[in-house]
Amino acid sequence: MPFRHLAAMSDAVAHYKEAFDHFLHERLEPAIEAYRRCVAADPSHARAWNGLAMSLGKLGQLDGAIEAGKRLAELEPDDPLSHTSLSIFYQQKGMIAEAEEEKAIAMRLQMAQQESG
């Protein structure tokens, strides 16, 4: 069993690297496919969820971007950027109340980080 887990982690890393390269070169459809393979191999890969959300958002696929953004915020609830990204997707979709709520969370987290660091 542990070897399967290691193989999945290795696959996730390879898929993430492929996805990120596609994203950097504005090849968003292949990036999305590779990010999806990454999170299938490792559902806790926060950077892949972020990349997936950003890629979907750039293509205007806001429902998918919101779902990926929610997953990212679940994985990294104390990261202000996770909530900021989600706020932007909600705003683009016209979901103003949700956007404002996520923005408020992001601001609280950012202020707490500044106070502690």
Note the pLDDT tens digit of each residue in 34-45: 999 999 999 999
pLDDT at 20: 97
Q: What domains lie within the chain, and their CATH numbers?
A: 2-116 (1.25.40.10)
Six-digit token string for 84: 């900021």
77 is written with which tokens? 């609830």
50-89: per-residue pLDDT in tens? 999 999 999 999 999 999 999 999 999 999 999 999 999 9
| Phi, psi (deg, nearest 5) at residue 16 | -65, -45
Q: Is the pLDDT of residue 4 over 80?
A: no
The 10 Å Cβ neighbour count of residue 7 is 11
Evaluate whether 25 touches 56 at the Cβ level (below 8 Å). Answer: no
Task: Identify the CA nearest to 36 among candidates 22, 18, 48, 24.
Answer: 48
